Structure 1
Amino acid sequence: MHLVQILLPCRDNEGEPFGHEDFQRLKEELAAPFDGVTAYLQAPADGLWRQGAESNADQIVIFEVMTDEIDLLEWGDRRTALERRFRQEKVVIRYMPITLI
């Protein structure tokens, strides 16, 4: 079993917040093929990263799904689509093996 996490910013590069419907749409898109999704939308996480000498801060939301198999081509396509939809240079999608109790 694997846990897949999608990290998305709450705002676009101009500082405009994404609408609730943008995140709701993604939640629905993920729920069907994975039989469920967890979305951390109410308490965004604070992110900080460096680009050269500059520090950048952002708030992110996290979507999680569990799946038996990881299809890297499919997830790569999904990442590309999310980068376009959320107008981002790079969207982080990560996965890790998990064991259920």
Structure 2
Amino acid sequence: MAHLIEILLPLPKSDAHSEFDALRSELTDKFGGATLYMNAPAQGLWSEGDTVEEDRIIVIEVMVDDLDRKWWASYREALEIRFKQEEIVVRSTAIDRL
């Protein structure tokens, strides 16, 4: 069964287009394609104690035929280091290609 992988990354305040271009190239080389939604970043809010934190988020999508959970967990950890984040959300949804 095919899966849609979504990576939610905070958009840095500085211009990071080259970093995202590199990420798109990495994923395209490995999986044959990747889509980055960068022009209209989403707003992410979450509660941290008494305060509300906010990020502007871009979404990266990759479709895969086989879900390698171990590889994706390792990649998520590498992205957390690379983008200096405590946690990056990487999620998978089973899909039917129509």
CA–CA distance in 2 between the matches of 1:17 and 1:75?
Answer: 27
Q: How does 1:1-101 map to 2 (within 5 A)?
A: 1-11=2-12, 16-101=13-98
Amino acid in structure 2 at the alignment position of 1:27: R
Runs (5+) with no aligned partner, structure 1: none
Matched position secondary structure for 2:71: helix
Map Cα deviations across residues 42-90 of structure 1 (whole Å, 9 max, x no partner).
1111111111221011100010000111111100110111001000000
Q: Percent identity?
A: 42
Amino acid in structure 1 at the alignment position of 2:36: A
With normalisation by structure 2, the TM-score equals: 0.94
Count how many residue pairs are aligned between Structure 1 and Structure 2.
97
CA–CA distance in 2 between the matches of 1:23 and 1:9?
Answer: 11
CA–CA distance in 1 between the matches of 2:70 and 2:24?
Answer: 20
Which stretches of structure 1, 4 residues or longer, exceed 3 Å deviation after superposition? none
CA–CA distance in 2 between the matches of 1:18 and 1:26?
Answer: 14
Change (3 A) 1:50 1:18: farther
Q: CA deviation at 1:18?
A: 4.9
CA–CA distance in 1 between the matches of 2:94 and 2:49?
Answer: 32
CA–CA distance in 2 between the matches of 1:87 and 1:65?
Answer: 22
CA RMSD of superposed structures (Å): 1.0
